[in-house]
Structure 1
Amino acid sequence: MLWIIALLFAMSGTIKLVETGGFALAKQMLASDAGGAKGQDDCVTEPGLMELHAQLQLRESQLSDREGLVLDREQAIKLAEKRIESRLTELVAAEQVLSKTVSIADKAADEDVTRLVTLYENMKPKQAAPLFEEMAPEFAAGFLGRMRPASAAAVMASLDPKTAYTISVMMAGRNAGAPKN
């Protein structure tokens, strides 16, 4: 019985050896056939295939160059955007400073006009009238419009009728062009 098992193991090993050796032999034969065919003939291509390949390589090179240019432009645009944002920030800050300055100047000018209006209101109408006759009608109308009505009426009564009429027209027409809505 041991002899039968040993005989079966031996037969199995022999079959395995023959199978592996045959496979390796077949691989070797295929490799030698392929090597011989390769050595005999170079790569066979269809007509124009190499020209197409050359054109594709040229196109790839052109696209690569364009890509480089696009990337350069993109970086230039980013730099320009940063500069613009920086300048915009500076302009906003300058606008705020200018707005404060204009506000201060407007307030000071308004205070000056208010003082002059108070001064003209406190003057006697006969003394103020010659000053108003020398002023430009638009300027005089501005002062008289800000004065108390009683003081303005007294000054207007002391003016030359033509000057008083001109100033009255200016005062009446000051807001004529203003929107009504």
Structure 2
Amino acid sequence: MTAAKPKRRRARPPGALILIAGCFAASALLRVTDPSGSLARAAASIGDEDGPAVEAPAQCEMVDDPTGLLATLRERERQLDARAAEIADRERLLDVAEAKFKEQLEALRTAEEKLAATLAVADEAAEADVERLVKVYESMKPKDASKIFETMDITFAAGFLARMRQEAAARILGGMSAERAYAVSAVIAGRNASVPRE
């Protein structure tokens, strides 16, 4: 029996290597025949006809006159500084006016307190004078006092008689004329007419 001979593999042609080599050759040929790359750009534009258009990146606009812009900014800064100085001046004036107002208000309060004290002293002095006069009229002879009360203003006479002791007031009223005594009595009674009873 003879041994079987192993089968020999058939050599395949190197197709993949040939394909890659062909691509490199075509690329080199394309570069030699179209050094500016216009064919490649045309092919790329044909492939992108259905897609969205690609916009070129926006470029920053250059200022034509940078010195003018700087001058405008400086003028604006000057205006803001002037406005701030004006506001500061107004605040100072308001502070001065407020201080003067407080000073005048304090002076007015002090004057008011002094006036109230003076009026209180004057009222006390007037009250003391009236009390002294009441005692003088009470100590006078009723006939002489009645003559004085006849010439007095009715309201004034009623004020004195209302402060006197009853006996002295009765004697003076008795020495006055009937009309005068009635008028004085009516004034004294009218002072208490508006006083609540309950």
- TM-score by length of structure 1 reads 0.61
Q: Which of 160, 171, 185 is equivalent to 1:154?
A: 171
Query: Which is higher, the Rg of structure 1 or of structure 2?
Result: 2
CA distance 1:124–1:64, shift in 2 (3 Å): same
Measured in 2, the distance between the counterparts of 1:178 and 1:85 equals: 44
Residue 123 in structure 1 maps to residue 140 in structure 2: yes
Q: Once the two structures are superposed, what CA deviation does each residue of 1:2-21 show, in whole Å capped at 9, x if it has no partner?
A: xxxxxxxxxxxxxxxxxxxx
User: Once the 2 structures are TM-superposed, how far is the Cα of residue 154 of structure 1 from its aligned partner?
Assistant: 2.1
Q: Which of 153, 158, 167 is equivalent to 1:141?
A: 158
The structure richer in helix per residue is 1
Where in structure 1 are there 5+ consecutive unaligned residues?
1-42
User: Once the 2 structures are TM-superposed, how far is the Cα of residue 62 of structure 1 from its aligned partner?
Assistant: 4.3
Higher mean displacement: 131-140 or 70-79: 70-79
Q: Once the two structures are superposed, what CA deviation does each residue of 1:15-56 show, in whole Å capped at 9, x if it has no partner?
A: xxxxxxxxxxxxxxxxxxxxxxxxxxxx6259xxxx999888
Measured in 2, the distance between the counterparts of 1:179 and 1:54 equals: 86
Measured in 1, the distance between the counterparts of 2:104 and 2:89 equals: 23
| Number of equivalent positions | 137
Which residue identity is paired with 2:98?
Answer: E
User: Once the 2 structures are TM-superposed, how far is the Cα of residue 58 of structure 1 from its aligned partner?
Assistant: 6.1
The alignment partner of 1:156 has SS state of: helix
Measured in 2, the distance between the counterparts of 1:90 and 1:178 equals: 40
Alignment of 1:55-70 (within 5 A): 61-70=78-87
Root mean square deviation, CA, Å? 3.3
Alignment of 1:75-154 (within 5 A): 75-154=92-171
CA distance 1:71–1:160, shift in 2 (3 Å): same
Measured in 1, the distance between the counterparts of 2:69 and 2:182 equals: 94
